[in-house]
Amino acid sequence: MTRIISLLNQKGGVGKTTTTVNLAAAIAAEKNDSGKFNKVLVIDLDPQTHLGLHFGTDTTGASVYDLLMDESVTAKDTIVKARKNIDLITSEVDLAAAESELASKTDRHDLLSKKIAPILDSYEYILIDCPPSLGLLTINALAASKELIVPMQTHFLALQGVSRLFETVQALAGGLNPQLEVTGIVLCMHEKNTKLAREVVDDLQGFFDSSRESNVPWKNCVIFDPPIRRCVKLAEAPSFGQTIFDYEPDCAGAKDYAKLAESVIAVHRVVDVEVVNEHA
């Protein structure tokens, strides 16, 4: 079954797109239960269009804007090859206008879900890079997703942002998408030796631990290990249109994202085992 994961934080500059790109690359380098490399689709819902630039792909064809706004455009029409096992649906600057244009559509909340439905069987993973806001584009992403991963920095204000984000997720899970769950938090640009970082992580862990018995979408949420260490190579790679594995595969950032992919894959396997056991 395809795992559809939105990566979202309404605060910009926290490593969301960097995480989307490099997590996709790391997952595509892992083999699935059938012994084949995972096929990954990455969807750029951010009007800043950084995802295509990061992969160094051609962004001149049909985009996610065309997919959402033109009934005749299919998902296959918009897909470009980013890497051997990674496909990409790119964004464009015009996507910024989609918020107001979508408002007049009766199916404005689940357009993306309907458009990608015919291609789900082609991928093990679909990662959606969301804009740093909680508008209609983000709602489309969350309505189409089964999971949410939140990249964040260990700053005090980031905790407040996560709280507001979870309120939106709970509202969606209560109506538009009951299957949506918060899978985990990715700590980006992490400096574990600072007192602030330790306090924020402790506060997050305490919040999640207190939610384990509650009927909320984040009751199984984890803080992924490892955190992504601050690494200048991660900041340099996009300017060359490369993932960190293309650019500097032996650096700390590459090692962290490779291990993060293993953690993301492992979390789902644990959930699958628990579901099987419940029905045994």
Pick from 206, 250, 204: which is nearest to 227 by CA?
204
Which residue shows structure tokens 């160094």?
Answer: 56
Question: pLDDT tens across 123-136, in order?
Answer: 999 999 999 888 89
Q: What is the mean pLDDT of residues 209-236?
A: 94
Quick one: tokens of 270? Answer: 């644990």
Q: What's the whole-number average pLDDT of the chain?
A: 90
Rounded-to-integer distance, Cα 45 and Cα 64, Å: 7
Per CATH, the architecture of 3-149+230-278 is what?
3-Layer(aba) Sandwich (3.40)
Peptide linkage before 178 cis (omega within 30 of 0): no
Question: pLDDT tens across 154-205, in order?
Answer: 887 777 778 788 888 898 888 889 999 999 999 999 888 788 888 889 988 9
Give the three-class secondary structure for 12.
Answer: coil
Determine the pLDDT at residue 273. Answer: 43
Question: pLDDT tens across 40-86, in order?
Answer: 999 999 988 899 999 999 777 899 999 999 999 999 999 999 999 99
Q: Where exactly are the structural domains of the chain?
A: 3-149+230-278
Rounded-to-integer distance, Cα 74 and Cα 155, Å: 41
Which residue shows structure tokens 């419940």?
Answer: 278
Task: Identify the H or E element spanning 66.
Answer: helix 64-69
Peptide linkage before 226 cis (omega within 30 of 0): yes
Question: pLDDT tens across 100-157, in order?
Answer: 888 888 888 899 999 999 999 999 999 999 998 888 999 999 999 999 999 998 887 7
- The answer to whether residue 280 scores a pLDDT higher than 60 is no
